[in-house]
Amino acid sequence: VQIIDDVINRSLWGAEFYVFDMPGGSSDIFRSVLAIVGDYLAGDVIVSQPAMVDSTRKMLNLHEYLEIPVLGIIENMSWLKVGAVTYHPFGRSTVDEIAAEFDVPVLGKIPLDPHIAEGIRQGNPFLPEALMEPIDNTVKAVIETDIRKPGFLEKLVHKVTDALKTEVEKVLASVIISANKTHDISAIRRNT
């Protein structure tokens, strides 16, 4: 997590977007990265699999709970095509149903394809052009997302307001305690 913090907050890369490939879940790492990028987060792309319906729902529920925008869902290993026959080794696709349930777009479905694995083994980890639709849709969703970055003054006002609120609460508590010591507030209430 420290590396991510250093890259974002202590380097001048001039990047417009950072992409983090993280395992799903609510781990400490996930929450720590969220704390680092929270002010600048465009949103998350959820990658699911047909057999992982419960995990996908849990992740989307977590995003709703933490108010993290979801740019869309990609279903990985959706099917396997052998000749003219299409197989669903991990079950039928569930991404459309889940996306409708959570009102998020489906960015695409990527098949289980031996050409992808072979490309990775050969040092070419890119999808064939015919399978690029989900990636293209994801890039488009990221580019079209309005990323609201709080400016320096907005952050300063927020910090000063929080600090002043705490100090005002302390002063008011002190005044009330002091007033109770010098005046019988209970008697004053009974008489009014």
Residue 137: its H or E element: helix 133-144
CA dihedral 55, 113, 83, 106 (to 10 degrees): 50
Q: What percent of the chain shows pLDDT beyond 70?
A: 93
Assigned token pair, 96: 């459309």
* pLDDT classification of 28: cutoffs 50, 70, 90: confident
Whole-number pLDDT of residue 154 = 61
Q: Rounded mean pLDDT of 182-190?
A: 78
Half-sphere exposure of 132 (CA within 13 A, CB side): 9
- Distance between CA 16 and CA 18 in Å, rounded? 7
Residue 22 has pLDDT above 90, yes or no: no
Q: Which region among 27-41, 111-125, 132-146 has the lowest average model confidence (pLDDT)?
A: 27-41
The more confidently predicted of residues 80 and 177 is 80
Q: Strands 85-87, 70-76: parallel, antiparallel or unpaired by DSSP?
A: unpaired
Domain ranges of the chain: 2-144, 152-191
- Distance between CA 30 and CA 68 in Å, rounded? 12
CATH code for residues 2-144: 3.40.50.300
* pLDDT classification of 89: cutoffs 50, 70, 90: very high
Q: Are 105 and 43 in contact (CB under 8 A)?
A: no
- Distance between CA 54 and CA 172 in Å, rounded? 50
Residue 73 has pLDDT above 60, yes or no: yes
Contacts of 80 (CB under 8 A, 6+ apart): 86, 87, 88, 89, 111, 112, 113
At residue 167, what are phi and psi to the nearest 5 degrees? Answer: -65, -40
Assigned token pair, 39: 């002010």
The more confidently predicted of residues 176 and 52 is 52
- Distance between CA 34 and CA 153 in Å, rounded? 22
Q: Rounded mean pLDDT of 59-87?
A: 90
* pLDDT classification of 74: cutoffs 50, 70, 90: very high
Residue 149 has pLDDT above 60, yes or no: no
**What pairs with residue 65 in β-bridges?**
none
Residue 65 has pLDDT above 80, yes or no: yes
